Amino acid sequence: MSDLRTLHDAFAELERRADAAATGMAPVARPRRAVRLAPVAATVVAVAALVAGVVWLVPGGSGTHAADPSTTSSTAPATTTARGPVPTSPDDLIARFRVVLGDTATFEATTKASLPPPSTSNSPQPPSPTNPPRPGAGSVGTPQLADPEVSTGAVIGGTLTSAGFTGGFGLMVHPSDSEPREWCDFSRVEHCDVSTLPDGSRLATGTARRAPGAVSYLACLKRPDGTMLLMQVSNQEDPAGAVIGSPGGEIYSPQPPLTLDQLKEIVTSDKW
Amino acid sequence: MEFAEYVARQRPALMRFATVLTCRTWLAEDLVSDVLGRAFERWERISAMAEPNAYVRRMVVNEYLSWRRRLTRASPRAGVEPTVTPDGADERAERDAMIRRLARLPRKQRAAVVLRYYAGLSDREIASQLGCREPTVRSQIHRALNALRIDLTATAPDFQETS
């Protein structure tokens, strides 16, 4: 007989295979598909392309990043008009994050993605001659592909270490139509605290505890110019907590490597 | 929240969940892509929900259950992906044997056991996700644990059920 520990080991191994597949290194013996398992509509293909566009890129550029003063390129004051351009590629974001962190922490980015331009509303773009609606889809068109050449934001994730504690982190910077509070709701944050800063930015912060012993902090800043900076840090592998209610991976430390106040300082830093 | 934001942040987690559910990464990729395709069409409504992620997860489960029906017809002996690097260690062998037993479970039993022990849902939440009654959920999980050869009384305290 086995016990639940073995079942959890099995889940962890399957998660590892999923992560390996996502980075293109999966030891997967993919069987020949004799049948299509589900109808693939045009939209699905388009969305798959969108997904591929924002897909978590291979961690080829990963590595431990520490603060490097020589890379400091943005010392603009914390005003909307004087800030440098928003990082639009994962590598730019990594470089900028390194500057913002200074000697506060070191990090290793293991997942990277580019984000496509935001839609003009919170709904998919309307159909056009080059973007025709598919039959039965009403007015729903296909989404923009996330061409790295036209990406307007980036996402990175990985592990971060500070003061002897290691945890997972996720960081997304891009122009957005979303509101900071939405990320509190989405992340099941307890007691979401939303405030408006002197420059008009809105900041949402909170703590999530998705599993026994797991702590995740969230800080989401929406600047007046529409730029959103979302950062989550946790004492476990996946600061986003995976699918709601699921374990969120291995717990690395008894506490997250950064405090919530440090997270606020990072997203509101004038070094972005 | 925009759809691209959701995908960028959540696709890895959805892939993990779908892989645990299907025991196959290639199936999980198709499953997640199809579900995201459907979610995109309804995103305006889904993003306005209190728990959009829970809704998408339910879509994944429902899609998986319908796919399994198709899979059973198309490939009744579909196997689990082989482990590429056999190591011979007892614990890993036991783990891989568990994955094989998990993959052989009837679809509803597997969904129930994954929602319970991976997603951490209560009987009531699982019943809602699977569209059945709570006693049915308990019965499905009981049968699944028997098939998985799991003895709850032999489980270490830190892995005991929490709900």
Task: Please count the other Cβ atoms lying within 10 Å of the Cβ belonging to residue A132.
Answer: 12
The span from the CA of B45 to the CA of B56, in Å, is: 12
Q: Is residue A82 part of a domain?
A: yes
Choose the final residue of a domain: B75, B98, B131.
Answer: B75
**Backbone angles phi and psi of A211, in degrees to 5:** -150, 160
Task: Please count the other Cβ atoms lying within 10 Å of the Cβ belonging to residue A145.
Answer: 13
Same domain flag for B107 and B143 = yes
Distance from CA of A148 to the nearest CA of B (A): 14
The span from the CA of A66 to the CA of B113, in Å, is: 42
Same domain flag for B71 and B93 = no
Measured between CA atoms, the residue of chain A closest to residue B114 is A11
pLDDT in tens, A120-169: 444 443 333 333 333 333 222 233 334 556 678 888 888 999 999 999 99
Measured between CA atoms, the residue of chain A closest to residue B35 is A44
Same domain flag for B64 and B20 = yes
Predicted local distance difference test score (pLDDT) of residue B87: 56
A58-67, A76-85, B93-102, B115-124: lowest mean pLDDT where?
Answer: A58-67
Q: Give the domain extent around B21.
A: 1-75
Q: Is residue B114 part of a domain?
A: yes
- CATH for B150: 1.10.10.10
Q: Is residue A92 part of a domain?
A: yes
- CATH for B15: 1.10.1740
- Using an 8 Å Cβ cutoff, are A152 and A115 in contact? yes
Q: Is residue A130 part of a domain?
A: no
* Neighbour order of strands in the sheet with A153-162: A64-65, A106-115, A153-162, A165-175, A227-234, A216-222, A202-208, A190-196
Secondary structure class of A17 (helix, strand, coil) = helix
Which helix (DSSP H) or strand (DSSP E) does residue B64 occupy? Answer: helix B52-74
Banded pLDDT at A248 (limits 50, 70, 90): low
A 216-235 residues inside an 8 A Cβ radius of B: none
pLDDT in tens, A214-238: 899 999 999 999 999 999 999 988 7
State in Å, rounded, how far the first CA of chain B is from the last one. Answer: 31
* Residue A49 at interface with chain B, using a CB cutoff of 8 Å: no
Distance from CA of A98 to the nearest CA of B (A): 21
Query: If you write DSSP's letter for every residue of A32-63 in order, what string do you get?
Result: P-SS-SS---HHHHHHHHHHHHT--B-GGG--
Predicted local distance difference test score (pLDDT) of residue A79: 41
Same domain flag for B66 and B125 = no
**B71 chain-A contacts, CB cut-off 8 A:** 37
The domain tally of chain B equals: 2
pLDDT in tens, A64-91: 444 443 333 333 334 444 566 778 888 9
**Backbone angles phi and psi of A152, in degrees to 5:** -115, 5
Secondary structure class of A107 (helix, strand, coil) = strand
What lies within 8 Å, CB to CB, of B104 at 6+ separation is: B147
Residue type, A120: T
What is each CA distance from B6 to A167, A230, B2, B14, B47, in whole angstroms? Answer: 22, 12, 6, 11, 9
Cross-chain Cβ contact A7/B98 below 8 Å:
yes
Distance from CA of A70 to the nearest CA of B (A): 31
Mean pLDDT of B105-126: 91
The span from the CA of A81 to the CA of A92, in Å, is: 20
Catalogue the E-assigned strands of chain A.
64-65, 106-115, 153-162, 165-175, 190-196, 202-208, 216-222, 227-234
